Amino acid sequence: MLVSLAWSSLGSRRKSVVLTFLSLLISISVLLSVEHIRQQAKESFNRTISDVDLIVGAPSGQLNLLLYSVFRMGSPTSNIKYESYEALQESQLVDWAIPISLGDSHRGFRVMGTNDNYFQHFKFGNKQALSFQNGQAFASLFEAVIGADVAKGLGYKVGDSVVISHGIGNTSFTNHDNTPFTITGILAATGTPVDKTVHVSLNAIEAIHLSASKQNQLLNDAASVNTTPDSVTAVMLGLTSKFATFKLQRDINNYKTDRLMAILPGVALTELWQMMGTVENLLRVISILVLISSLFGLSTMLLASMQQRKNEIAVLRVLGAGPRVIFTLVLVEALILVLLAIVAAIVLLSVTLTLSSDWLASQYGLFLSANLLTVETLKVVSVITLAAIVTSAIPAFEAYKNALHSSLSAR
Amino acid sequence: MSAAPEQPLKNEADSNKAAPNQGNAIALNDVNYHYADANSSGLHIPTWKVNYGDRVFLHGHSGSGKTTLLNLLAGVLTPQSGELSLLGKPFSALSARQRDKFRAQHIGVVFQQFNLIPYLSVLKNIELATYFAKAGKTNVADAAEALLTGLNLPATILQQPANALSVGQQQRVAIARALINKPEILLVDEPTSALDAAARDAFMTILIDMCKQHNTTLIFVSHDMYLKKFFETSVEMSSLKGSSLIQPAETK
């Protein structure tokens, strides 16, 4: 009865109630999305790479190396010699080495040159290995393996042929038209940048960058041209013993014949996360302030209505409603509004995340789940509800006082 | 000291001799009430008793404390000293919560205006009264319809929002709501001040009829002496207070 009374009372002040509801909806959406994206981004960043002990590339910042080698963001400053990769591969301490070569793209998706080691040793999430949804790894020169999102986004099947562009833009003036690739395999979805990548062999990367005459020669007789690469962009290493990590890192950093830098992906990820932590906290503070201001808006709306509700309160009092009932009534009104706003915000965010997940993944490498019903969200929601109760206690107490002093003469 | 010039109530002597709080619907003994701000005069009533089923016209000029008395009777205000008993219960000694419950169950109130919650339907307004009285949900709609018919209102208005009714209709709905819980006491404060003459007479006839029907003790407050003719008993405010004499009422 109280809830239906509160509901009718809200209905009688539709305009200010709708405006308050919208302000609550916006602020709760902002807070929930900041919290959700924070959680999800951390998870999505941390699951991109697993079981890789060192990443080796040309000396730059460790974040830069991490971003381009793992997240396929930004561009590599310079490459390292292929001989360095071979040397690392042969090192006693190294169990496996995955060379990667970046710089080309296919309709907005990055193309990465690598070799079989990648499919055997690369791991993501909780040490999960890559697996094929369809087909198998590339075996010959002009064959490619695509990630799940590439297949889904461009509608490719095994056996289709693709043309690779030079550079990393969505549109490129230089297409490697002479050398189309045949898709031999599609990887199962991983929720990492792997899904957005077209994989080819290192030799293929070398081959598409040959001069036109050499390419013709190659197409006529594959064995006549040497397609062994000169350089690779980076190398991911798995070590035989974790204890050797720091020794090997030091050795690589002091490597004489090539300029190399080795980073620990975990450390780099943490640094990346710390850098984002400041921004994240700032966003959090702002969204909390926005929420507080809209909660004050709610209690202002209720307070302003108290004057016109004096009669109403007098009537309720005379019918036998105690001051506590009046207090509860105002609180229930506030809670109805806040809970409705929370539900609407969750629906709104879920829909938005579902619709924008592809865009977020391709633009920012963020793989966000559209499922908001997590323990974290529940915590945020309970904090919001609690804050709503606290702020609406002000008008509720006003109503309580009103009820205490209301008398039959209230006119 | 405006001693009551009225004649003594016929049965007044024996009702005084009976056990003070038994047998009277309303019994006041040395009740004192004064407002927090010193400007407004307080109210002192040495003694006043109303029998079950009496219909009392309580009149007096404005500022004579009529409304204060009504507030005391409704339990919205509590006297600083003295005893106020309703239906044999020491009303003034109850806790605020108990008083609210007692009011919901045993007292109906009709104001001068703004009796209904404007955005609720007539039925919802009436249901509110039963909700706070915690009366079992025995078909409120039927009981309300019966009351409304008795008040010459069409049953169709049950579903209309209260603010869609005319003032006269609203006042009659207010009576229906005040009577829905079959209260022993009905307190009415200038209910006709917003009505025209014809509507006023119709309203009064219906009100008195309803009270007779339900044997409700009615305390009707007004400054309009014209309305006195509808009542058997009339009491002047000034005769109630101040004087320690116990001859407050007159009979027609």
Span A51-95, pLDDT tens digits: 889 999 999 888 888 888 888 887 777 889 999 999 998 988 899
State pLDDT tens for residues A157-185: 898 888 887 766 555 556 777 778 899 99
State pLDDT tens for residues A297-341: 999 999 998 888 888 888 888 888 888 899 999 999 999 999 999
State pLDDT tens for residues A191-220: 888 988 999 999 888 888 877 778 778 777
Using the beta-carbon criterion (under 8 Å), do A406 and B100 form an inter-chain contact? no
CA angle, A86 then A89 then A94, to 5°: 155
From chain B, the residues in CB contact with A6 under 8 A are none
Rounded distance, CA A341 to CA B87, Å?
A: 49
Residue of B nearest to A326 (CA): B132
Q: Within the 154-213 window of chain B, which residues sit less than 8 Å (CB to CB) from chain A?
A: 177, 187, 189
If you compute the radius of gyration of chain A from its CA atoms, what whole number of angstroms results?
Answer: 30
β-partners of residue A139 are: none
Structure tokens at B171: 């006042």
pLDDT, residue B2, reads 41
Say which of A1, A311, A315 has its CB closest to residue B131: A1
In which band, very low, low, confident or very high, does the pLDDT at B9 lie, cut at 50, 70 and 90? very low
**% residues pLDDT > 70 (chain B):** 84
In which band, very low, low, confident or very high, does the pLDDT at B17 lie, cut at 50, 70 and 90? very low
Rounded distance, CA A334 to CA B158, Å?
A: 29
**Beta strand A109-114 pairing with A197-201:** parallel
CATH number of the domain that residue B126 is part of? 3.40.50.300
State pLDDT tens for residues B136-183: 667 888 888 888 888 888 888 899 999 899 888 888 899 889 888 889
pLDDT, residue B192, reads 84
In which band, very low, low, confident or very high, does the pLDDT at B247 lie, cut at 50, 70 and 90? very low
Q: Is B135 on the interface with A (CB under 8 A)?
A: no
Rounded distance, CA A46 to CA A70, Å?
A: 11
Distance to chain B for A126, nearest Cα, Å: 58
DSSP-assigned states of every residue in chain B: -----SPPPTTHHHHHHS-TTSSEEEEEEEEEE--SSTTS--EEEEEEEEETT-EEEEE--TTSSHHHHHHHHHTSS--SEEEEEETTEEGGGS-HHHHHHHHHHHEEEE-SS--S-TTSBHHHHHHHHHHHTT-----HHHHHHHHHHHTT--GGGGGSBGGGS-HHHHHHHHHHHHHTT--SEEEEESTTTTS-HHHHHHHHHHHHHHHHHHT-EEEEEES-GGGGGG-SEEEEHHHHSS---S--EEE-
Q: Is residue B166 domain-resident? A: yes
Q: Which of A93-102, B31-40, B104-113, B182-191 is the least confident region?
A: B31-40
Using the beta-carbon criterion (under 8 Å), do B128 and A407 form an inter-chain contact? no
pTM of the model: 0.73
Structure tokens at B118: 């404007």
In which band, very low, low, confident or very high, does the pLDDT at A36 lie, cut at 50, 70 and 90? confident
Q: Is residue B18 domain-resident? A: no
3-class DSSP state for residue A321?
coil
Rounded distance, CA A114 to CA A90, Å?
A: 17
Residue of A nearest to B111 (CA): A408
Q: Is residue B63 domain-resident? A: yes
Number of separate domains in chain B: 1
If you compute the radius of gyration of chain B from its CA atoms, what whole number of angstroms results?
Answer: 18
pLDDT, residue B141, reads 85
State pLDDT tens for residues B64-94: 788 888 888 888 888 888 888 888 888 878 8
Distance to chain A for B8, nearest Cα, Å: 30
pLDDT, residue A45, reads 78
pLDDT, residue A28, reads 93
ipTM of this predicted structure: 0.79
